[in-house]
Amino acid sequence: MKNQQIFNLFTLALLFLGFSCQPAPNQPVADNLPLTQDERMAWWREARFGLFIHWGLYAIPAGEWNGETDYGEWIRHSAQIPLETYDTLARQFNPTEFDARAWVRLAKQAGMKYIVITSKHHDGFCLFDAANSEFDVMSTPFKRDILKELAEVCREEGIRLCFYHSIMDWHHPDYLPRRPWESNRTTDGADYSRYVAYMKAQLKQLVSDYGDVGVLWFDGEWEETWTHEYGKEVHDYVRSLDPAIIINNRVDKGRQGMHGMTLEGGEYRGDFGTPEQEIPGAGFPDVDWESCMTMNSHWGYNKRDTAWKSTEDLLQKLADIASKGGNFLLNIGPMANGQFPPESVERLEGIGRWMAVNGESIYGTEASPFGIFDWGRVTLKRSMEGFKLYLHVFEFPKDGELRLPGVANEFTEAYLLAAPQTKLAVRRDQDALLVNLPATPPDSINTVIVLECQGPVAIYPLPVVQLESDIFVHQGKMEVEQPALPGVSVRYTVDGSEPTAASATYSAPLFFKESTTVKVRLFNKGQPASGVLAQSLQKVKPWPPTMQKGQQPGLQYAYYEGDWKKVSAMKAGKPEKTGAITGFSLDERQRSDHYGFEFNGLLYIPKDEVYRFFTESDDGSQLFIDGKLVVDNDGPHGAREVMGQAPLGKGYHTIRVLYFEADGSDELNVKWQPLGEQKTAIPPENLSH
């Protein structure tokens, strides 16, 4: 929160000065100077939209193995298929319908500017004629270098070809660790450094022999054998092969789970963050990032997966991501015959129809200078005379107007991007510009309106408040960031009225003993400059303690084994094991996948206060206090932290944590933060049963 707020004000200053974190795209690159980061990223920032392709031997079983039907590209691991059995799939790989030009043209017509395809996924199978491996496409009946054919067509069609290359390799004898269930596969003689050399040789072949590679998209960096040192080594090696290649942050160890952004301060390598299957709530100023997402629920082809996202949903996700300054990498898992699933083609074509008319509002745009609007999103593009705001209207407001707060610029005109001759009326109301909408939405999914403004961007974001919590037991506290702009002040009211030039000026933290709604607004030389931010602070009664008293230290646990998609399903079965345990430890697990725990006990609360609780888990978790759900972090996902809060009275309260691990990494961290104190693990002495 803090960084974001500082950014808002910092950006405000920059916006006024007309600077931006992103250069005009397609800058000319000086021949003899090292590439700047802006020069390297220019095409990628302009592109905004790419196609992800997960394709390999796993498309043959198409998600099904021994009667189970929910697998994807992890099938060898999840279905525990022995190496020798899985390798026989190579004898069946013969995608006779594969047509590189058809694929590239479908992506191009969808408005995609780059393709990231799995040169090698975790199973170790190479979709190219690997000079140092027989476990490749040339050892299949197909005997064609798929990546070479794609490279040729991408060059001709003006699409950047990029490669997803997995660090984790379940096939190569030197890669460690083995799969936990592969006890019969010896590790004798395995030399991880020799594996790294093998991988570097493949990277060199890909960078040297497959045309002008746009991005090396690493993945599978999470196992403990891959280190920050290796990450730096391979990143710098690729950069030495071609300084223009963009490298994602999964080459190193700084990526934070599925949120995908790089841990700050660790000098972790990577040109962009990689949120996966999620879109960040807000952008990351001055940081490049790309959300990757499946069209249904699987990366690799699963013939039974019908959970297709609608074209409308995908288009609105594209606008949402671009409005936050990110790229969208949308995935297709081709079928074993070499064709895209028809449902994927249908979505590409639908997206292409919209992009053909509105692509200008996505390509080369910058993040919205506003917050999130309930009617849609905003992207921005600068020009010599001023700038254009692209208003992506998903849902027309009932009053027929779009209110854009804090715009100090004068407007030139507004019109439909799809029909520029259709001009729209604009009027000013204090700090805001109001754009009058047509009676009916021209596009039911996303109508783009262009608002052209003069001069450098001078848009005041809403004031930024800092709260420890929006509820309090004893005293509420609110701070407001002071805008570092001459003549700009913060004024506020606590009676629900709109702040005026006569309202109180904010100068120090505000404290409250009763529930209050505070309204805050920026003023510039006595005139309203921003919209109004309303923030409520609620005085609440603490939940009464239970009459139970802790008898024994630690918690009771129940350990389960099975395959679930949410924690509530776990309890349907009988526990494999029960007992007492210190804290929320997973040490009693009997395997590393498909297991779960239920922890129960009493939490001693030392004082009446608001307590925040956090679970960071891979996969799902939930935390209950006194039987009420306080943290909901459920579902299959990578490492993710979710916070909840509860006002608790001094004494014992029941605490219950449910957790399940599907497959891949497993992790559970439970923390608390009494208001005004640091976030820490719950002290063992506060847990009993």
Site residues for ligand FHN per CB under 6 A: 73-74, 219, 276, 292, 299, 638
Shortest CB 448 distance to ligand FHN, Å: 29
Helices 100-109, 342-358: axis angle to 10 degrees equals 40
Rounded to a whole number of angstroms, the minimum distance from the CB of residue 28 to ligand FHN is: 33
Closer residue to ligand FHN in complex, CB, 531/638: 638
Shortest separation between residue 419's beta carbon and ligand FHN, angstroms: 38
For residues 456 and 635, which CB has a smaller minimum distance to ligand FHN in the complex? 635
Task: Say if CB 175 and CB 166 are below 8 A apart.
Answer: no
Count CB neighbours of 106 within 10 A. 19
Distances (CA, A) of 360 to 154, 216, 315, 483: 22, 27, 14, 33
- The nearest distance, CB 54 to ligand FHN, in angstroms, is 6
Instruction: Extract the tokens encoding 363.
Output: 């390509």
Q: How far is the CB of 232 from ligand FHN (least distance, A)?
A: 21
* Phi, psi for residue 318 in degrees, rounded to 5: -60, -45
Tell me the residue number closest to ligand FHN, measured at CB. Answer: 299
> Is omega for the bond preceding 141 within 30 degrees of 0, making it cis?
no
Cis before 619? omega within 30: yes
Nearer to ligand FHN, 276 or 305 (CB): 276
In the bound complex, what is the minimum distance in angstroms from residue 660's beta carbon to ligand FHN?
Answer: 17
Nearer to ligand FHN, 180 or 496 (CB): 180
Report the residue number, 359 or 636, with the smaller CB distance to ligand FHN.
636
The distance of closest approach from Cβ of residue 292 to ligand FHN in the complex, given in angstroms and rounded to an integer, is 5
**Residue number with CB closer to ligand FHN (118 or 524):** 118
Cα distance between residue 394 and residue 643, in whole Å: 30
Q: Which is nearer to ligand FHN, 120 or 521 (CB)?
A: 120
Tokens of 639: 């490492």
Whether 557 and 588 have beta carbons less than 8 Å apart is answered as: yes
Spatial contact of 389 and 451, defined as CB atoms under 8 Å apart: yes
Nearer to ligand FHN, 83 or 292 (CB): 292
Kindly state the smallest distance separating residue 383's Cβ from ligand FHN, in Å.
36
CB of 271 to ligand FHN, least distance (A): 16
Instruction: Tell me which DSSP letter residue 373 carries.
Output: B
CB of 532 to ligand FHN, least distance (A): 41
Instruction: Find out whether 11 and 287 touch, Cβ atoms under 8 Å.
Output: no
CB 78 within 8 Å of CB 300: no
Q: Is 616 helix (H, G, I), strand (E, B) or coil?
A: strand
* Number of other residues whose CB lies within 10 A of the CB of residue 279: 14
Is the Cβ–Cβ distance between 471 and 647 less than 8 Å? yes
Q: Kindly tell me which of 234 and 378 has the beta carbon lying closer to ligand FHN.
A: 234
Answer whether 293's CB lies under 8 Å from 277's CB. Answer: yes
CB of 51 to ligand FHN, least distance (A): 13
Q: How far apart are CA 107 and CA 362, in angstroms?
A: 16
What does 511-526 look like in DSSP terms, one character per residue? EESS-EEEEEEEEETT
Contact present, 576 and 562 (Cβ < 8 Å): no
Separation in Å, CA 341 to CA 97, 333, 511, 569, 600: 12, 8, 58, 31, 46
Among residues 171 and 650, whose Cβ is nearest to ligand FHN? 171
Q: How many CB atoms lie within 10 A of CB 516?
A: 17
Minimum CB distance to ligand FHN smaller for 330 or for 529: 330
> What one-letter code names the amino acid at 166?
S
